[in-house]
Amino acid sequence: MTDWLPKDFWTRNETLVAGVIMLFCFVATVSDPRFLTITTVSDLLRASIVIGILAVGAMLVLVSGGIDVSFTAIAVFAMYSSTVLSLTIWPEIPWPVIFVISVVFGAALGAINGFFIAFLGLPTLIVTLGTLSIFRGFLLTFIGSQRISDLPPSMRDFSRGVIARGTTEAGNFYSIPWAALALLFVIVLTWFILKKTMLGRSIYAIGGSVESARRIGINVKWTQFFVYVYVGALAGLAGIIHGSVGRMADPFSLVGLELSVIAAVVLGGARLIGGYGTLTGTMLGVALIVIVQNSLIVIGIPTTWQSVTIGILILLGTGVPAYRAKRAAAQAG
């Protein structure tokens, strides 16, 4: 890594995804010059916040060698139940408190996943498929199934807070909300955990090979448990931001988004078999999915083709490296 560019710069997924994003932006700007403005950029950034935080969590799970499909249900559960709790007990609650409550709810639900996966050794996909429907079923049966639009006032205050706002020369309004800082915070915190702590190195190690990790003395069970609790906490944060910014606690939102989020992470180069995944790649993957979801129409593709486009991107983005790995393995063998 002494060179200016990493050795595998031209072959890694990050480069491929960044290239596709630039190509997309180029085509979009040519077909509609208004595309490349601060308004579009701030719109896309706002759309990336919740997906971005969820994607960081999903990446961590993939790095550890598992897969989690329940985080959207955790997010909506934590958001809705902390909102209901605040409204009944303390409607004047300051927003940092309700955020903490939601994060704690999320972490608690994540601990349930962690218990079954780390301590009972069940397959991650099956456990999280099960808890997805348990969390969602419990929320809608026992906590509520009504949309709440009169949120605690502090949540509305949070959504009004902006880092920067203004009007372009053409008269288009733009704003970058505080919530963007939450995404930044999550990225920095996760980067720190992954790169600077023993825990983070352990997550990569168990994703690479559980048996080797165990033999060099890593506590596999507690590391796995931590991953699911942390992912639950991130989901709780993403959920409450989603509720605050959207100014509505909707128990039917978010669930269904999990596969797009995982798709974004996988596009960014994280591998399903574990041990590999970067924050840069994840954010590029999120950017690509968000751009495709919001701007397909700008380059002249009707929105009804959105699903097909994302599906093909997933197949190409994961198929090319998988095919290359298969060829390399065949040549080596």
Partner 1 sequence: MNTSVKDFTASPEFRLLIIMVFVFGLMSVLSPDRFLSSQNLTSMAFQFPEFAILALAMTIAMMTGGIDLSVVGIANLSAVVAALILTHFSNAEMPAAQSAIWLAIAITAALCIGAIAGLINGSLVAFFGLPPILATLGSGLVFTGFAIAMTGGSAVMGFPDTVALIGNATLAGVPVPLILFAVLAFLLHLVLTRTAFGLRVTMYGANPLAALYAAIDINRMLLKVYVIAGMFASVAGLIIMSRANSAKADYGSSYLLLAVLIAVLGGVNPYGGYGRVIGVVLAVLSMQFLSSGLNMLGVSNFARELIWGALLILVMVINTHAVTALRSSLKPPK
* Contact pick of 21, 272, 276, 280 for partner 1 (by CB under 8 A): 272
Residue with tokens 């909707």: 250
Residue 130 CB coordination number (10 Å): 15
Q: How far is the CB of 128 from partner 1 (least distance, A)?
A: 10
Q: With b meaning 16 or more CB within 10 Å and e meaning fewer, what string describes 155-190?
A: beebbeeeeeeeeeeeeeebbbbbbbebbeebbeeb
Closest distance of CB 199 from partner 1, Å? 26
Q: How far is the CB of 58 from partner 1 (least distance, A)?
A: 13
Q: What φ, ψ does residue 32 adopt, rounded to 5°?
A: -150, 100
- Binding to partner 1 (CB under 8 A) within 273-332 occurs at 273, 302, 304-312, 314-315, 318-319, 322-323, 325-326
CB 108 within 8 A of CB 50: no
User: Which region among 153-161, 196-204, 209-217, 256-264 touches partner 1 (by CB under 8 A)?
Assistant: 256-264
Q: Are 171 and 28 in contact (CB under 8 A)?
A: no
Buried b (16+ CB within 10 A) or exposed e, 290-323: bbbbbbbebbeeeeeeeeeebeebbeebbeebee
How far apart are CB 317 and partner 1 at their closest, in Å? 9
Decide whether 36 or 140 has the Cβ nearer to partner 1. 140
Q: What's phi and psi for 228, nearest 5 deg?
A: -70, -35
Looking at the Cβ atoms of 97 and 129, the one nearer to partner 1 is: 129
In one-letter notation, the amino acid at residue 286 is: V
Size of the site for partner 1 (CB under 8 A): 47
140 part of the interface to partner 1, by CB under 8 A = yes
Binds partner 1 (CB under 8 A): choice among 55, 59, 127, 180: 127
Residues lying near partner 1 in the complex (CB under 8 A):
67, 116, 120-123, 125-127, 129-134, 136-141, 145, 256, 259, 262-263, 266, 272-273, 302, 304-312, 314-315, 318-319, 322-323, 325-326
